[in-house]
Amino acid sequence: MSEDERSKWTADALRKAMAAREEAATQTDSHLSEAEHDRLAAFTQDFLTHHIGPEELKEVRKRVEAAAKRGEFEALIYTFPSSLCTDDGRAINSAEPDWPTTLRGKAKEMYETWERHARSMGYRLKAEIVTFPGGIPGDVGFFLNWSRPEK
């Protein structure tokens, strides 16, 4: 082994290479988190200032139809960050009866749409926390159910 090759295999060289890889990964993570932050900011802006559009309702219908074709009686129809609830999803996570009062933006509108139209057609809606990043409530999922009510 030449002296040049040998110097590449010293413990110091190995530590430096590991540190360089870790620094590169940290920079990549930083860029990803910035991009993720920008994506979440855009989603939040849309969520809080715009109405549910026909494409979103079409997606709900597609999810319900797909679940029914699979023989299921429930479909996840909508998700959003729990941080967009007035209490960060606490009432939903605790299954409190007044959880709908914590909804804002499109989630509130989706709930009101269910209440005005789908409830009378026999559909039930439930909300639950579907992700727990770091052990804290992450995303809320709205589930539409059309099974026979239990007596």
Contact 118, 144 (CB under 8 A): yes
CA distance 37 to 39: 5
Pure H helices in 50-126: 54-69, 90-93, 105-113
Beta strands per DSSP E along 82-133: 124-129
Report pLDDT for 16.
83
- 23-39 per-position pLDDT tens digit: 777 665 555 577 777 88
For residue 106, which of 53, 37, 38 has the smallest C-alpha distance? 53
Report pLDDT for 121.
94
pTM above 0.85, yes or no: no
Report pLDDT for 118.
93
Q: What is the mean pLDDT of each run of 10 residues along the chain (151 residues)?
A: 70 82 68 75 87 92 95 95 94 96 96 94 96 93 92 69
Report pLDDT for 29.
57
Report pLDDT for 115.
95
Which helix (H) or strand (E) segment holds residue 25: the answer is helix 11-49
Report pLDDT for 31.
59
Q: Which residues of 116-149 are buried (b: 16+ CB within 10 A; e: fewer)?
A: eebeeeeeebebbbeeeeeeebbbbbbbbebeee
Q: Enter the tokens of residue 82.
A: 């729990």
How far from chain centre, in Å, is Cα 46? Answer: 15
Residue with tokens 């804002």: 104
